[in-house]
Structure 1
Amino acid sequence: MTESTHPSRRAVVTALGAAGFVALPAWPQTARAADGPAVAAATGPVLDTHPDTEPSGTHVREVGGTNVVFQYGTVLPAFDGWRTHEPTREYLTLDKKWRFRFDPDDQGLAEGWQSAHHDDGAWGLIDVPAAWDLLNTPGFGSQTTPFGQGTAFSDGYAWYRTTVDVPGSWRARHVRIAFLAAGYSAEVWLDGTRLGKHEGANSPFALPVAGALRPGTRQTIAVRVFRRASYTDYTASTGQAVTDDYEVPYKPVDYWPYAGLTRSAWIEAVPQVTITKLLVSGANGRLEARAVVENHSASDFDGRLTLDPGRDSGAPPVRVEVRIAARSAGVVPVSVPVPHAPRWSPAAPHTLTARATLTSGKSSGPRVDTLSTVYGVRDLTVGDAQVRLNGKPLFLKGLNWHEETAAHGRAMTPAEYDRELGHITALGANLIRNCVYNRHPYVYDWADEHGVTVMDDIDTMWLNTAQEKLQTERYGLARALALTMAWNQHNHPSVILWGLQNESEIDADGAPVYRAWLADLKAAVKAVDLTARPVTWASNTSNDPAFDLADVIGFNEYFGYFYGKDADLGPTLDAVHAKYPDKPILITENGTWSEAGTHGPDTTQGTEEWQAASFTAHWAQVTARSAFVAGFTYWVLKDYKERAGYNQAYNGISVMGLLTFAEERPKLVYDAFREAVNPRGR
């Protein structure tokens, strides 16, 4: 493909006129103490400390007409380094064995475990990525093993340490340490210099290391990870729940809170002038791109940015002029007609790769940096009680699923992802709901490639009015999770819905707080999403006082299990539709349970026959109303681990899945779901 070496004047003027820049925000680059000593709850377990607001400093700034997400004093970067290595950058993987030690008495910080000089020779070893739950918990995947034993129940602080040889060539580079996940929170030091703290078990983060980096030497990385205990006693019949109003979620929930460095980590050295993020939107026959460029140098940068919309896009590369002031971030907008590019859909999941290349000077100067991203061209609209993709109404045959296996917990291998996600397509599903946290980037790539749509979620589960108020008015962690979700998953054509919360409380006097909280989360994702994806949430009621704020009405229903009768679903859907006639409705959860191998009448709870019959009854009522019901999302693909100990849990395994937990053996409901016909096809 031949590049267009003479961009139109309109393209140049558009870039210069809109690409304003802002100074990079200040961020501490010297060592300091933690936010205070850990404190013991009244019941005994240690609680983590919290600053006045969530510790990453996540916020949005308008840069040249584009809203940009900042964290730790820099633009929140793309996290493709786990699989894609740009030719202009250097990478050091941190996926290896680290030194590891539990710190139940919170003594490590005072004893200098973060220091490069600390002797960790007697420490144990742990793989990164891995969940420390599986370090030593025999029978974790068994339904008969006694509950409450092993490292799966080791809470509080634990430390990781490793060394890296930093190349001398990095003296003129901007360097950051990236983690795809650390559960629940993590503080990071480089040779004793505290780089920052992250909170939120399932969202990636990257810490700049300026001021702490010593190129040409061996340096020590130390990470202190914290997980709150769920209960004061896991073996007691009525253990007291341990809560923390600042954490999200703030109390025990019905999924397992895997601990440790559960996803990949690496160090990335990029040029001082770098393309930090490439936002793209392919719709209505155009590719709209926003290249976010940071200039970490002391000199202004003048050059060009070339955007190649990708092979099969039907469009040539476009070049625009760029100027970014020293110590600033700017946005370079590029709009490219791609009328002949293939569209993405579940039936034909065509993806393309866009690449931005930054060169210095007004003419064809040397290459400075590159960044690529996968995207799809598709038109997504909501209206007249329907969700339409490329102009055609969708019916979402969906599955909730938890990211875990009995062998590795949340630190799944690619082979495990392929095996588990393979059930999605085998079952004829076209939607996965990422209940209730962001997944590994592998999942979004897989969905793009296999034509499976995604409802993405954040960790805002079971909050009450007090936490909703705290998050909205003061702490801001829920908002940070919403912003980073929309920013990180922005380019994936498979992601069609932003989920804002799951079954959070709405008390008699709390509706105004609840509405304000959801409005805040909705504003966050809408601020950074160029594609204006619809928002929804998994309400615990069909009479939610904030449904008018939703683009798609979503609620969980368990008629015939927790309350009422199976047949109550249809009249409930009719009532919601009568109240909101223009909004599509999505059942975000419905399911029952069965203990594998238990058979009997389909009216007897706990039999595989009853579980299958319940699904079939709900499916029939939903599909009969496909004119205004956009889909049904079954709870859940596979039996799953939890600490909350209800919904028929055995050794913490809730048996509500289509598949068993460890063996992944299908139950009768698996076949019933597979045979359920989508009223609108794939």
Structure 2
Amino acid sequence: MTPPTHPSRRTVVTALGAAGFVALPAWPGTAHAADGPVLDTHPATEPSGTHVRDVGGTNVVFRYGVVLPAFDGWRTHEPTREYLSLDRRWRFRFDPRDQGLDESWQYPDLDDRAWGLIDVPSAWDLLDTPGFGSQTGPFGKGTAFADGYAWYRTVVDVPASWRARHVRIAFLAAGYSAEVWLDGVHLGKHEGANSPFALPVGGALRPGTRQTLAVRVFRRASYTDYTATTFRPVTDDHEIPYKPVDYWPYAGLTRSAWIEAVPRVTVAKLLVAGANGRLEARAIVENHGDSDFDGWLTLDPGRESGARPAVVPARIAARSAGVVRVSVGVPRAPRWSPAAPHTLTARATLTARRPSGPRVDTLSTRYGIRELTTEDAQLRLNGKPLFLKGLNWHEETAAHGRAMTPAEYDRELAHITAVGANYIRNCVYNRHPYVYDWADEHGVLVMDDIDTMWLNTAQEKLQTERYGLARALALTMAWNQHNHPSVILWCLQNESEIDPEGAPVYRAWLADMKAAVKAVDLTARPVTWASSTSNDPAFDLADVIGFNEYFGYFYGKDADLGPTLDAVHAKYPGKPILITENGTWSVAGTHGPDTTEGTEEWQAARFTAHWTQVAERSEFVAGFTYWVLKDYKQRAGYNQSYNGISVMGLLTFAEERPKLVHEAFRKAVNPRS
């Protein structure tokens, strides 16, 4: 089979002292929508109003005017709360000409009986796209290429008992952006395809009645014409990513949604940090009532902690938020590690008047006891140096796109442990909460990412100085994944532009996002990013130096990697180094000499050459992240000959069959094992 006309993965790594590099294609510097593709509208700043406030000495994330709550309702139903699942079949209609608002599609009296139907969760890409998972399928046809606006509608019977409740509607994801109405009342807009959001319902709720929920979802087109020989990209300065990228931008309500009714005095979020024999907890309590709350909070550190529950006063003024701090010694609690992934469950219980008084609200969270440090150019867990044998992976299957089922997650993630990996990089977006729970339970370490991929200097400046979506994504990543012991690294960006004249802008952008995650992370996890160069002008800001490298593929020779690592270490001798991407490609079933590009043998040999150089330097290189676990779909303007499938995986896309590199990766010995 003929190799792809264009490379499957584009990157630039300027090695210290290396001669060659391959440039990224030129992209428009400003928003562009030629020949009619619809662009979404944007307010002056990102629409959720995400920000941090100091509440009693604890930094708390607010969004839509309230505390950003825990999203455990997808799996855990607290006994003090009521839940109404929105995972069901909704009415659905594409709106390619953006006529829905003018025609009042958000209002309850609309006759939508002629609309189509769609499941929530699902990606509308898979609604009608024959051959989506096949390398020989027709690229550019079907709902996988339906862009612009689409509308969802459903009706809900609101219990009369919710009159005395604070009610919010939670969505685990909506790609790319979503606006929500209840009986025609606009509740808010969310931007960011892969991060959860919750909208307070407020006065739009009419308990004891049937109400109509309408959601308008938007996805920007990647190109003006997906089948043209010359690609004309569609971009938007405000969006992240702002231009076509080489993964699939699945559209729709791709993860679970529900309505949650909580007491007016409620534990919105429970932050915990377990280390060195202690559990430090912050219960963020909201009082939506008109009266001050004067009660107690009991923190139970969990059955296996060896500690008794702690009881402290909880006084929260009316119409405000407060933080109740609790510190509990847990000297006999087992530590969490990849070899022994012990998790515990902490539960916060609010009671009125006295500790044994009426229960007002509860919130539980899983956590682990572990110590994470960076020192002497090493990443250490519980005092022992780590070497991360890892994989990048994309959250998708041929059958369901990004709306994966639990069985699909179990099968997909099992591939990671089967090859002896101890670490995954969530390139380049947050995953479903199932993934973090799975990693906690299976002892797999995680680097969590956000969608800040391939920004240029103009977008970095816009995000830092005005729009603030990059900061919001960083804040919510750290806030939402805070309690997971498996999450050990925050990744701020992937291969974004470092213009020599724009280096101060780039540094300010990274510093802004780093400050955001550090502000809310009680455990002070290390911060890194997947740089496009080994000579990044902001590496001094990183706790762990991370860069993508493709020596011997896009530029230079395989053997250039070792000297490059040595040069980076010499410049930053105290910092661990992490290879955040490396890989090549092969078409499954194509065999030949390991010097012939595109054969399985060539792909496996290139991995081994790079792995060997990294493993030999494990005293200062903290790990290696292969690109990528499985072949994956993308709309980035190349690989159309394979129906948009990038063939860089250890496994094939739809069938998940192993290539030779799968066995080479499995046999690679972790130097810290």
TM-score (norm 2): 0.95
Q: Which residue of 1 aligns with 2:347?
A: 355
Higher mean displacement: 646-655 or 394-403: 646-655
How far apart are residue 365 of structure 1 and its match?
A: 1.1
Matches within 5 A, 1:514-533: 514-533=506-525
Q: Which residue of 1 aligns with 2:172?
A: 180
If asked which structure has higher relative contact order (CA below 8 Å, sep 6+), I would say 2
Partner-residue secondary structure (3-state), 2:612: helix
**Alignment counterpart, residue 200 of structure 2, candidates 208, 218, 227:** 208
Q: Which residue of 2 aligns with 1:222?
A: 214
Give the counterpart letter for 1:452 in structure 2.
Answer: V
Give the counterpart letter for 1:276 in structure 2.
Answer: A
Contact 2:601 2:660 survives alignment (8 Å):
yes
The Cα offsets for residues 198-257 of structure 1, whole Å up to 9 and x where unpaired, read as 000000000000110000000000000000000000010112000000000000000000
**Alignment counterpart, residue 386 of structure 2, candidates 379, 391, 394:** 394
| Distance in 2 separating the partners of 1:164 and 1:478 | 34
Q: Which residue of 2 aligns with 1:479?
A: 471
Give the counterpart letter for 1:194 in structure 2.
Answer: H
Partner-residue secondary structure (3-state), 1:616: helix
Partner-residue secondary structure (3-state), 1:510: helix
Q: Which residue of 1 aligns with 2:282?
A: 290
Q: Which residue of 1 aligns with 2:360?
A: 368
Matches within 5 A, 1:187-202: 187-202=179-194
**Alignment counterpart, residue 541 of structure 1, candidates 530, 533, 543:** 533
Q: Which residue of 1 aligns with 2:565?
A: 573
**Alignment counterpart, residue 442 of structure 2, candidates 426, 436, 450:** 450
| Distance in 2 separating the partners of 1:121 and 1:298 | 42
Q: Does residue 342 of the first structure (1) align with residue 337 of the second (2)?
A: no
How far apart are residue 44 of structure 1 and its match?
A: 1.4
**Alignment counterpart, residue 418 of structure 1, candidates 410, 413, 432:** 410
Contact 2:370 2:382 survives alignment (8 Å):
yes
| Distance in 2 separating the partners of 1:639 and 1:140 | 13
| Distance in 2 separating the partners of 1:458 and 1:53 | 18
Q: Does residue 245 of the first structure (1) align with residue 237 of the second (2)?
A: yes
Q: Does residue 114 of the first structure (1) align with residue 106 of the second (2)?
A: yes
Contact 2:231 2:637 survives alignment (8 Å):
no
**Alignment counterpart, residue 379 of structure 1, candidates 371, 374, 379:** 371
Q: Does residue 143 of the first structure (1) align with residue 132 of the second (2)?
A: no
How far apart are residue 422 of structure 1 and its match?
A: 0.1
| Distance in 2 separating the partners of 1:485 and 1:352 | 22
Cα distance change, pair 649–388 in 1 and its aligned pair in 2 (3 A): farther
Q: Does residue 85 of the first structure (1) align with residue 92 of the second (2)?
A: no
Partner-residue secondary structure (3-state), 1:536: strand
Q: Does residue 269 of the first structure (1) align with residue 261 of the second (2)?
A: yes
Cα distance change, pair 497–648 in 1 and its aligned pair in 2 (3 A): farther
How far apart are residue 647 of structure 1 and its match?
A: 6.4
Contact 2:139 2:640 survives alignment (8 Å):
no
How far apart are residue 339 of structure 1 and its match?
A: 1.1
TM-score (norm 1): 0.94
Cα distance change, pair 176–289 in 1 and its aligned pair in 2 (3 A): same
| Distance in 2 separating the partners of 1:375 and 1:648 | 44
**Alignment counterpart, residue 673 of structure 1, candidates 662, 665, 672:** 665
Matches within 5 A, 1:486-565: 486-565=478-557
Give the counterpart letter for 2:122 in structure 1.
Answer: A
Q: Which residue of 2 aligns with 1:21?
A: none
Give the counterpart letter for 2:119 in structure 1.
Answer: D
How far apart are residue 71 of structure 1 and its match?
A: 0.4
Q: Which residue of 2 aligns with 1:162?
A: 154
Q: Does residue 325 of the first structure (1) align with residue 317 of the second (2)?
A: yes
The gaps in structure 2 that reach 5 residues or longer are 1-30
How far apart are residue 362 of structure 1 and its match?
A: 3.2
| Distance in 1 separating the partners of 2:620 and 2:536 | 18
Partner-residue secondary structure (3-state), 2:46: coil
How far apart are residue 508 of structure 1 and its match?
A: 1.8
How far apart are residue 41 of structure 1 and its match?
A: 3.0
Give the counterpart letter for 1:393 in structure 2.
Answer: P
Contact 1:648 1:654 survives alignment (8 Å):
no
The Cα offsets for residues 323-365 of structure 1, whole Å up to 9 and x where unpaired, read as 0000000000000011111000000000000000000003521
Higher mean displacement: 362-371 or 252-261: 362-371
Give the counterpart letter for 2:154 in structure 1.
Answer: T
Cα distance change, pair 363–283 in 1 and its aligned pair in 2 (3 A): closer
Cα distance change, pair 298–142 in 1 and its aligned pair in 2 (3 A): same
The gaps in structure 1 that reach 5 residues or longer are 1-38
**Alignment counterpart, residue 468 of structure 1, candidates 450, 460, 473:** 460
Contact 1:444 1:494 survives alignment (8 Å):
yes
Cα distance change, pair 404–217 in 1 and its aligned pair in 2 (3 A): same
Cα distance change, pair 610–87 in 1 and its aligned pair in 2 (3 A): same
How far apart are residue 146 of structure 1 and its match?
A: 1.8
Q: CA RMSD in A?
A: 0.9
Q: Does residue 69 of the first structure (1) align with residue 67 of the second (2)?
A: no
| Distance in 2 separating the partners of 1:603 and 1:542 | 26
Cα distance change, pair 82–363 in 1 and its aligned pair in 2 (3 A): closer
Partner-residue secondary structure (3-state), 1:342: coil
The Cα offsets for residues 496-518 of structure 1, whole Å up to 9 and x where unpaired, read as 00000000001120100000000
Contact 2:346 2:364 survives alignment (8 Å):
yes
How far apart are residue 287 of structure 1 and its match?
A: 0.2
Partner-residue secondary structure (3-state), 1:177: strand
How far apart are residue 427 of structure 1 and its match?
A: 0.7
| Distance in 2 separating the partners of 1:178 and 1:93 | 10
Cα distance change, pair 544–647 in 1 and its aligned pair in 2 (3 A): farther
Partner-residue secondary structure (3-state), 1:130: coil
Contact 2:311 2:355 survives alignment (8 Å):
no
Partner-residue secondary structure (3-state), 2:534: coil
Cα distance change, pair 369–478 in 1 and its aligned pair in 2 (3 A): same
| Distance in 1 separating the partners of 2:32 and 2:163 | 43
Give the counterpart letter for 1:359 in structure 2.
Answer: T
Matches within 5 A, 1:17-56: 41-56=33-48
| Distance in 2 separating the partners of 1:206 and 1:304 | 27
The Cα offsets for residues 463-521 of structure 1, whole Å up to 9 and x where unpaired, read as 00000000000000000000000000000000000000000001120100000000000
Give the counterpart letter for 1:55 in structure 2.
Answer: P
Contact 1:313 1:352 survives alignment (8 Å):
yes
Contact 1:232 1:241 survives alignment (8 Å):
yes
Higher mean displacement: 139-148 or 639-648: 639-648
Q: Which residue of 1 aligns with 2:431?
A: 439
Partner-residue secondary structure (3-state), 1:544: coil
Q: Which residue of 2 aligns with 1:234?
A: 226
Partner-residue secondary structure (3-state), 1:569: helix
How far apart are residue 43 of structure 1 and its match?
A: 3.2
The Cα offsets for residues 113-144 of structure 1, whole Å up to 9 and x where unpaired, read as 00011110000000000000000000000111
Cα distance change, pair 649–629 in 1 and its aligned pair in 2 (3 A): farther
| Distance in 2 separating the partners of 1:43 and 1:559 | 39
How far apart are residue 602 of structure 1 and its match?
A: 0.3
Give the counterpart letter for 2:517 in structure 1.
Answer: V
Q: Which residue of 2 aligns with 1:8?
A: none
Q: Which residue of 2 aligns with 1:630?
A: 622
How far apart are residue 40 of structure 1 and its match?
A: 8.8
Partner-residue secondary structure (3-state), 1:509: helix
How far apart are residue 42 of structure 1 and its match?
A: 3.9
Q: Which residue of 1 aligns with 2:20?
A: none
Contact 2:32 2:236 survives alignment (8 Å):
no
